[in-house]
Amino acid sequence: MVLGADSLRIAIAGATSLRGKDLRQWIDESGFPVGEVRLLDEELAAGTLAEVAGEPVIVQPVEEASFERTRFVFFTGSPAFAAAHARSAQRAGATVIDMTGSISAALGARLWIPHLDAELAAPPSGHADSRASIAAPSGPPSDKKSGAAGTPAGSRGDGAPFGAPSDIPSRAMAGAITVCIAPSAAAIVACSLSAALKPFPLARLAITFFAPVSDRGQPGVDELENQTVKLLSLQPMPQAVFDTQVAFTLLDRWGSGSAVSLSSIRAAIASEVREYLAGRLPSPAITLVHAPVFFGCAFSAYAEFASPARAATAGAPATGKATEVSAPQLAARLSAAGFTVAGEDDPPLSNVSVAGESQLFVAPPARDPNADNAYWLWGAVDNLRLTSANALRIAERLLVS
């Protein structure tokens, strides 16, 4: 799909991944003003026939000219693929928007959740300068989502220091943001909850995420499907991805043979949250539980306040030790931080009910029966669509900045 010479051009690197497919769909549905979409992926996926805006498009391998004249390059595939090509995209003059977790915020990239800009106006400490170059990979990238693959910040793969004119595109030299990190769905939820509870005397916030297998990409989805079929027919089940039974069971860890561990994903989420909040708000406690579902991430959050959370009329929370926190106050703050708060008579929220939705959903706050200064929050998001919407929102903000 090609328009005039001045049309907006973007590339989706990792176009055949679950994230890449969902981003393509969201670009079509949201009306993002794009003139040309280049679909790129690894050699094995090159040649795949895909569709953009109803037109057939062939997925191409990454070549020397792949990123030329592109405004944005969204990395949606494997962390290794992003680590291998992100620096080339930046040097071609494109703004890199990483959705894989392969680029470290420590390298100067801006970790961004645009819908929280009004709630947390000041940019995170250490993230204001997003013009630094991306390190060229010097060895095998980490399989951990939080790990930054590549050479240390401050040196290129060829040993030259960052900051040389040949290393930073003209837009970056002029002060434009050229590297952005679009965090995971769980990190977006955690940061949004922290922002929502900012006005209250929060003593602790703990969040349990129920992770779907789609966080492991198409192989994770395929293995859950195959395990389900095999178990129901009393046949041996495949375990190549998770190294354990993931169908019909909740788990706190996968098998030791799994290439990625739940604990490393949990650490990556916690790192994203910590990097984004950057001391502006306390980081919540986070745990991760494997759920035997394909898509959609449900979560349960426990919020305990320093003063008793007794019933009170809705309105702005008072200050001081006598502050009372009411369910209507919490619901109002959740709405302000980007959540859609379900009504008492609405159908129950689940990972299924939020499929295809770009918003964050939460049920009405429920007081803990034993602690009158605490509330429970139940919610769910579409883990793929929320991250796609956030990434595209980043691009939209940059277009008008």
Count of helices and strands (H, E) across the chain: 8, 16
d(CA 292, CA 378): 18
- Taking alpha carbons only, the member of 322, 327, 332, 336 closest to residue 303 is 327
**Helix axes 383-400 and 185-196, enclosed angle (nearest 10):** 70
Distance between CA atoms of 400 and 394, rounded to whole angstroms? Answer: 10
Taking the CB of residue 257, how many other CB atoms lie within 10 A of it?
Answer: 11
Res 41: pLDDT: 95
Q: How does pLDDT run along the chain (401 residues), one tens digit per residue?
A: 343 435 799 999 999 999 999 999 999 999 999 989 999 999 888 888 888 888 888 999 999 899 999 999 999 999 999 999 999 999 999 999 999 988 876 567 899 999 999 888 655 444 444 444 554 443 333 343 333 333 333 322 333 333 333 454 555 444 567 899 999 999 999 999 999 999 999 999 999 999 999 999 999 999 999 999 999 999 999 999 999 999 999 999 999 999 999 999 999 999 999 999 999 999 999 999 999 999 999 999 999 998 654 434 444 454 444 468 899 999 999 999 999 999 999 999 999 999 999 999 999 999 999 988 899 999 999 999 999 999 999 999 999 87
Show Cβ contacts of residue 166 under 8 Å, excluding neighbours closer than 6 positions: none
Cβ contacts of 44 within 8 Å, gap of 6 or more: none
Q: Which residues lie across from 69 on neighbouring strands? A: none
User: Cα(88)–Cα(63) distance, rounded to whole angstroms?
Assistant: 10
Look at the block and give the residue holding tokens 């040097």: 91
Rounded Cα distance between 29 and 37, Å, is 14
Exposed / middle / buried, residue 83 (Cβ in 10 Å: 0-12, 13-18, 19+):
buried
Question: Within 13 Å, how many C-alpha atoms sit on residue 62's CB side?
Answer: 21
Which CATH architecture best describes the domain 188-383? 2-Layer Sandwich (3.30)
Question: For residue 347, with 0-12 CB atoms within 10 Å meaning exposed, 13-18 middle and 19 or more buried, which class applies?
Answer: exposed
Please state the pTM of the whole predicted model.
0.85
Residue 310 is predicted with a pLDDT of 45
9-182 shares its CATH topology with 188-383 = no
Determine contact, residues 119/191, Cβ cutoff 8 Å: no
DSSP assignment of 31-86: T---SEEEEEE-TTTTT-EEEETTEEEE-EE--TTTTTT-SEEEE-S-HHHHHHHH
**The tokens of 267 are what?**
């650490």
Domain boundaries, the chain: 9-182, 188-383
- Residue pair 60/50 in contact (Cβ under 8 Å)? The answer is no
- Mind spelling out the 3-state secondary structure of the chain? CCCCCCCCEEEEECCCCHHHHHHHHHHHHHCCCCCEEEEEECCCCCCCEEEECCEEEECEECCCCCCCCCCEEEECCCHHHHHHHHHHHHHCCCEEEECCCCCCHHHCCEECCHHHCCCCCCCCCCCCCCCCCCCCCCCCCCCCCCCCCCCCCCCCCCCCCCCCCCCCCHHHHCCCCCEEECCCHHHHHHHHHHHHCCCCCEEEEEEEEEECHHHHHHHHHHHHHHHHHHHHCCCCCCCCCCCCCCCCCCECCCCCCCCCCHHHHHHHHHHHHHHHHCCCCCCCEEEEEECCCCCCEEEEEEEEECCCCCCCCCCCCCCCCCCCCCHHHHHHHHHHCCEEECCCCCCCCCCCCCCCCCCEEECCCEECCCCCCEEEEEEEECHHHHHHHHHHHHHHHHHHC
Which CATH number fits the domain 9-182, given the four candidates 3.90.1150.10, 3.40.50.880, 3.40.50.150, 3.40.50.720?
A: 3.40.50.720
pLDDT at position 145, please?
A: 36
Q: How far is the CA of 60 from the CAs of 50, 176, 348, in angstroms? A: 11, 28, 43
